[in-house]
Chains A and B, each alone.
Chain A
Amino acid sequence: MFYQESGQFSTRYRQDGRALRLWQQRAALWALLLLAFGLLPFIGNDYWFSAILIPFLVLSLAGLGLNLLTGYAGQLSLGSAAFMAVGAFASYKLQFLLPGLPLLLSFVAGGVVAAAVGVVFGLPSLRIKGFYLLVSTLAAQFFVEWLLTKFAWFSNGNESGVITAPPLLVAGHDFGSPAGRYLLTLSVVLPLFVLAANLVRSSLGRNWMAVRDMDTAAAVIGIPILRTKLLAFAISSFILGVAGSLWAFTYLGTVEPHGFDLSRSFQVLFIIILGGMGSILGNFLGAAFIVLLPIVLSILSGTLLSGVLPAGQLENLQKIIFGVLIILFLIKEPDGLARLWQGWRARARLWPLRF
């Protein structure tokens, strides 16, 4: 299908630097947007919104946050959930500290607080590298969880640390219905993806990848290592913080600190391993996979495997499948689903020829 790109030449650097170079790609994107904003809210049912689409979007965003840090800037982190928690609780608390704070602004503010916390736990990355950095991000994970559980101030006086979302009002409109929560989530997630896609294709994004691939060489060509790493922590944590706010406000409605425990951090890490490290699209693919797999499994066990699989085993089976998939991907396709998609596209480009 060479004909797709025939006749489309970039005559300006700006055109060549586009994320989607072909008009077909851009048209497909617009069609998808139309579907997501114009059609899905009317044809989707509550189960689709609440159990699939909203968690898919929020987890994609969380994956994006971690991907910027780990996939692009090369800083391994096991503390994603901590930054999500900071975002969620900060958004919540700020609603009380600043009455009348618009909902969207409270998401942004939650992200900013998460970014600040991210920088603090990112500071050790200047002296320590690789696995040693796990300590800093795990410290964040355990410390934040402890802090939010032990001090009721953060949950505005709730002794068990539970927070409940305020009414989801934006400019006087109530987005409390499942379709409304979906639209609200979509409208927060997509712009952040656009900004991140811009970033990774510009100077800062290249600096991140340079630090990831070889930090000595990066320092030698004048990339400020300190600033570059800290910006990665800040921006990554900002996005994770917003994802945490959405998780609490538009997805669950009620969360406690343990909802952001280490296994949530693993979940986010698995999204980027399966989806593809250093890929923007991969976050969507990984999140879709991680949301859909349990659902598919439980449907299968209810129908095909009913009677074969004892009730309690579904969770174990799911664990084993996730683990096996992680290992399989790392062996066979370390660049994840995003690379599989690219490979498929490359073959489709030549189709029906083979080379």
Chain B
Amino acid sequence: MSFFMEVLLGGLLAGVMYSLVAIGFVLIYKASGVFNFAQGSMVLFAALTFVSLLERGLPFWLSFVISLLSMLLLALLLERLVLRHLVNRPPITLFMATLGLSYVVEGVAQALWGAQVHGLDLGIEDTPLELGGLMLSRFDLFAAGSAGLLVLLLSLLFNKTRIGLSLRAVADDQLAALAVGIRLQRMWVLVWAVAGLVGLVAGLLWGARLGVQFSLSLIVLKALPVLIIGGFTSIGGAIVGGLIVGASEKLAEVYLGPLLSGGIENWFPYVLALLFLLLRPAGLFGERAIERV
């Protein structure tokens, strides 16, 4: 039983990281209606920038600030060069543009900082910690804590500030938001930059775990089933979805994997997401729209 609990908790903690990537997705989807496949490359870009600056001898906080500024710059360029020209296009076109974008961001990141694996030490020991008879990873707990803090900050931003009010207005109805004088394009830059911040945090946590390398951009593929389960528009959904995917994936790998000769964590979340979809086509937290004709 305690083995089961350890697997479950380990999975939940890993799920927190999936949630982080998914939250970046949700922010952008809510504010600009873009299904951003490039979220994974943004994670890679942010983490790679950070770790490269660190390796060049910059202090931690300065590297963090510069990485953050580079994400802001990326958001600005993106709005100017891409989004602005694709207003009112079908969602599928926007999605494919982000596919192209992910190629550009990955290409630029690797051209700037190289393709080798960078080790990243955040100063947190990855030693097991005993809590109530269960062995838990100290690092995972730290990661979960940072993610929680980030979500708290985001919800403060959304619910307590003027900017947050504007953002919620944009998410609710773009045209109406325009009509009351909200500058849509500024909001897009802001939300892409915030998604960049979330990406940076996710990148640091993942990078400290697995090394900062190209495969970081592939975690976007883990975030997709998370979104499907939680719904595209709910941050709470992204968190719950991440936890569900993380936990079930680990449990499936441990209990089901041996029967199927292992390695099932690549497709298992997708099958899970499909099952969810068939039962609830708009996700756990999504609203099902009534089609008007």
Contact = CB atoms under 8 A, between A and B. Distances in A.
Contacts of B293: 216-217
A317 B107 contact: yes
Contacts of B232: 131
Contact of B101 (A130, A131, A262, A323): A323
Given A326-B99, A331-B85, A334-B93, A216 B261 contact: no
Interface stretch (B159-167, B174-182, B191-199, B262-270): B262-270
B99 A132 contact: no
Contact of B274 (A136, A313, A318): A136
A134 interface: yes
A8 interface: no
A20 interface: no
B104 A323 contact: yes
Q: Which range holds the interface residue count of chain B?
A: 35 or more
B277 A327 contact: no
B186 interface: no
Interface residues of A, number: 41
B228 interface: yes
Contact of B107 (A127, A273, A319, A330): A319
A215 to B, nearest CB: 10
Interface string A301-327: 000000000001100111110111111
Contacts of A134: 224
A131 B95 contact: yes
Nearest to B29: A131
B99 A135 contact: no
Q: Which 8 pairs across A and B sit closest by C-beta, in order of nearness?
A: A326-B100, A323-B103, A319-B107, A323-B104, A320-B107, A139-B270, A142-B267, A316-B111
22 contacts: A76-B92, A128-B277, A131-B35, A131-B95, A131-B232, A135-B274, A145-B266, A146-B266, A146-B267, A150-B260, A273-B96, A316-B110, A319-B104, A322-B100, A322-B103, A323-B100, A326-B103, A327-B82, A327-B97, A330-B93, A330-B96, A331-B86
Given A312-B114, A316-B110, 5 more contacts: A128-B281, A132-B277, A319-B107, A320-B103, A323-B107
